Amino acid sequence: MSKFGLLISNEWRKQFKKKTVWVFLILTIVASLGFGLIFGAIESLDYDFEYKPSTTFAEDCDSEIEYYQVALEATIARKDSYMTEEEYQDEVDYFENAIAQWTFYKSLGIETWSDWRFSSGFAEELWNIKDEVSDAKFQEYLNGFKSKNIETYYRIAFADDYAQVVKDDRETANVWFADYCIEYNVIPTRNDWRYGLLLAASDAYASALSLERQQSLGFPIDESTLQKKHDAVTLATYRVENDIAALPSDSLTAYMGTSILEPYSGETSLFWDISVMELYLVSVIAIFILVLAGTIVANEYTSGTIKFLVLSPVKRWKILAAKYVTVLILGVMLLAGVFVSGLLCGLIFNASGARLVNVSVVNGVVKTSSPYLMILKQYLLSGVKILVIASLSFALSSICKNNALAIAASLGCYYLGNTILTIGQLFRLDFLRYSIFANMDFSAVVNGTTGFPHHTLACAIISVVLHMAVFLLTAWDGFTRREM
Amino acid sequence: MDTILKIEHLTKSLGKREILHDISFETYGGEVFGFLGPNGAGKTTTIKVLVGLLLLDQGTVSICGYDLKKDFENAIKNVGGIVENPEFYKYLSGYENLRQYAKIQGVGEDRIREVIHLVGLENRINDKVSKYSLGMRQRLGVALSLLHRPKLLILDEPTNGLDPAGIKELRDILTNLAHEENISVVVSSHQMSEMELMCDRVGVIVAGELKSVQPISELVASVAHDKCEKIFRVDAPERAAQILSENGFEDVTVTENSVNVLFDKASEDEITAKINRLLVHGDISVFNIADKENRRLEDVFIELTQREGGDQIV
Ligand SMILES: Nc1ncnc2c1ncn2[C@@H]1O[C@H](COP(=O)(O)OP(=O)(O)OP(=O)(O)O)[C@@H](O)[C@H]1O
Ligand SMILES: [Mg+2]
């Protein structure tokens, strides 16, 4: 083995002979597995849970009718107390109408409240048009209702849109939506993931139409916005046509609200939900890595063992580099451990989610990508933050020979960085945009949540690279030049 | 005898203070060199420079012919040593500690066993260092310094914490190493008696200056044997002392029942007789005349190192 390899293996042995290191490693594994298992269990329980009312829909209709009956009788009994005949009549009409309406609902043969024909407003629509259409037509609708015919629903619900001879953008989009739902038999309820998805798509459809019309009239428009609207529609129809209920990216978007990914557009998958939740454990690992980086050099000074270490024919910078690499390896191992625990727990609760592929549409072209890479990217982004602060910790412990200081300072920077930024912004200290706190969280920079306007990723990367260079040079300088 | 360590005009400042002033000496293979000096004299500082823990300001140090400044790696390959207390990874066993160092030095298993045997730690080598006594740590330190077969072995106060048997063992180990394996051993200490038994030559350092470098026997002789002290047991010590000082004797001390007189060893008998006559003439009863015990080595050391400085640490 090379000298450098030997140095690393020495560091490795030293770390793994310490009880504290073992305790932390085991805690990390227990925490990440436990976290995933508990989260998965709770979520799965939720899926199984269904509210079972003790009464049937018909019984509920009866009690509604009874209620209005009582109210009606009370009104009749208090007839004299009304100022005018008209007011009295209005009141009586209202109650009679309500009684008739609930009687009608009861006659429709609905079994539960959650029947889509009731929750979507189908029954109400039917009641409303009762007197407006011919009896034959109404009978046809009624039959459609009873046979749970989806087309009937959309025809009634979007009747106005269908009826327009010259349609505006919204009406065109609605007709497109209704036709599409009829074609793919989309049940108008949130329980059918396609319904919400297509509703959102119809908004995009309308916006696209409006943009195109502006364009044809010679107004300047944002081409990329138009393209995005088209892409949203393409993605939605692609998913409906290929029956892709859940996208792994939706799990990420739903939990993290990051615009690195497309907006949340449908169902999440428990498999990926768990993996995303595990990302929160990264800040726990950060403690360990920061402590390790802050002690691995300083401990040699406090224990006095540095004397033997430097009294050897090995260049000092190599000793230092071996320590840094050891921290890096341990950090990556811990991150990988959390990542893998997330996947394992996901497999336990929702194995099918593991096969999900992320679908996106870019410039009209449907693309599939691996969600594993996507979540790995998230881990890497969080890893950058740890790496930066660990380097700071490393540098401090190398120049101050004091682990307490290095640990305190780096934990402070890691956990209070955002607070410092917020306070700085209160005092309008715009130069803080160049500080490490504003730049080390790449996802915040991309999302524009750092609080500084015009903060670009390129600027953040340059800042981070410069800071890292300063930290590592300081560590190197402190360790190699210093007299012991 | 080949020169192993050669120091020329070494000067070193720490902060604003100049700790070492123009130190020059050589050590040879096959000898144990004692580096003697009181607290704060600069022994540790010198050793730190030799092992590369401190940089030298001025002067040159060469080890086995390699310049410490220009050719650090080659020079330091030939050095093994302990600076101040030997410190180890307390959570590792003695063996693990040796292994850590052996790996960097490119030393095999056999050699580890060899040095463990040499310092007599075989029974306890697998215990955690946190459970070692100070003496055991000293032994482990020596073992560790010897791992890579250095030509120059530097030990900073290695007898610190060793029991008499341990000191004797260490002495035997070191003399053996020097005489059998032709290593140059440098041992710092402020204990003359140890030095006398262990060292072939001694360099005395006081307040950062090297006073002398000479064989131990010469050193002891040079200070101890130019004067002698006699004890006169008398009935009236006070009066006796007065008579003697009136007659030109300067180093006179009075005790309860005697006067002690220090004078040149050269004319010992004549002066003893003269003092006796003076006392008798002065009507003082002299009961007994005795040699004060040979002046102890520690006194020599104190005389050597603090002749000018008073008793304050410099
Ligand atoms: N880091 C330092 N900065 C400034 N002065 C120092 C430093 N280290 C030691 N000294 C001073 O250097 C002088 C020599 O110290 P050194 O440790 O070499 O003495 P020593 O001969 O080893 O003494 P001892 O027998 O007590 O071990 C002392 O006066 C000490 O105060
Ligand atoms: Mg010392």
- Say if the Cβ atoms of B101 and A307 lie within 8 Å: no
Ligand 1, atom 18, residue with closest C-alpha: B42
Q: Which of A18, A19, A308 sits opposite B144 (nearest CB)?
A: A308
B14 Cβ below 6 A of ligand 1: yes
Considering Cα of A162, then A164, then A166, then A171, what sign does the dihedral take? negative
- The preferred substitution site among B23, B36, B45 for testing ligand 1, maximizing ligand atoms within 8 Å of CB, is B45
For residue B273, the CA-to-ligand 2 centroid distance in Å is 48
Only one residue has tokens 């300063």, namely: A470
Scan residues 410-469 of A and list those with Cβ closer than 8 Å to B.
none
Global ipTM: 0.75
Residues facing residue B290 across a β-bridge? B231
Q: What distance in Å separates residue B23's CA from the closest CA in chain A?
A: 20
Select from A4, A13, A312, A320 the residue whose CB has the most chain B CBs within 10 Å, as the one to mutate to test that interface.
Answer: A312
Beta carbons of A249 and A358 less than 8 angstroms apart: yes
Identify which of A228, A207, A212, A180 has the alpha carbon closest to the alpha carbon of residue A364: A228
Residue A259 has a pLDDT of: 45
In whole angstroms, what separates CA A374 from the centre of its chain?
13
Which distant-in-sequence residues (6+ apart) come within 8 Å of A250 by Cβ?
A264, A265, A266, A267, A268, A269, A272
Q: Do B89 and A303 touch (CB under 8 A)?
A: yes
CA distance A150 to A173: 18
Of all ligands present, the nearest one to the C-alpha of B48 is 1
Judge: A9–B105 Cβ closer than 8 Å, yes or no.
no
Which residue's alpha carbon is at the smallest distance from atom 3 of ligand 1? Answer: B14
Contact assignment for A303 to B52 by CB distance below 8 Å: no
Is A483's CB within 8 Å of B55's CB?
Answer: yes
Distance between CA atoms of residues A281 and A24, nearest Å: 13
Q: Do B100 and A17 touch (CB under 8 A)?
A: no
Tell me the backbone φ, ψ of residue A51, rounded to 5 degrees.
-70, 120
B1–chain A Cβ distance below 8 A for any pair = no
The span from the CA of B160 to the CA of A295, in Å, is 30
pLDDT digits (tens, 9 = 90+) for B83-101: 888 899 999 999 999 999 9
Which residue, judged by its Cα, is nearest atom 6 of ligand 1? B14
- Report pTM: 0.78
Alpha carbon distance B207, B41 (integer Å):
4
The residue to mutate among B12, B13, B19, having the most atoms of ligand 1 within 8 angstroms of its beta carbon, is: B19
pLDDT at A261: 45
* Binding site membership of B137 for ligand 1 (Cβ less than 6 Å): no
- Report the residue from B52, B74, B84 with minimal CB separation from A311: B52
- What CA–CA distance (Å, rounded) separates A146 from B119? 99
* CB nearest B103 (choices: A6, A19, A307): A6
Q: Cβ contacts (< 8 Å) between B64 and chain A: which residues? A: none
- CA distances (Å), B115 to each of A400, B107, B125, B134, B308, in order? 35, 11, 11, 18, 43
pLDDT in tens, chain A (484 residues): 688 899 999 999 999 998 888 998 899 899 999 999 999 898 887 655 566 777 888 888 999 999 999 999 998 888 887 778 888 888 899 999 999 999 999 888 888 878 888 888 888 888 988 888 888 888 998 898 888 899 999 999 998 899 888 889 999 999 999 999 999 999 998 888 899 889 889 999 999 999 999 999 999 888 888 998 999 899 999 999 998 888 887 777 766 655 444 555 667 888 988 988 888 888 888 888 999 999 999 989 888 888 888 888 788 889 999 999 999 999 999 999 999 999 999 999 988 888 888 888 888 898 888 889 888 888 888 888 889 989 999 999 888 888 888 888 888 888 888 888 888 888 888 888 888 888 888 877 877 777 787 788 888 899 999 999 999 999 998 888 767 6
**Residue B246, φ and ψ in degrees, nearest 5:** -60, -30
Tell me, what DSSP letter sits at residue A433?
Answer: G
Q: What letter represents residue B119's amino acid?
A: V
Cα distances (angstroms) measured from residue B117 to each of B88, B107, B112, B164, B192: 19, 16, 9, 20, 29
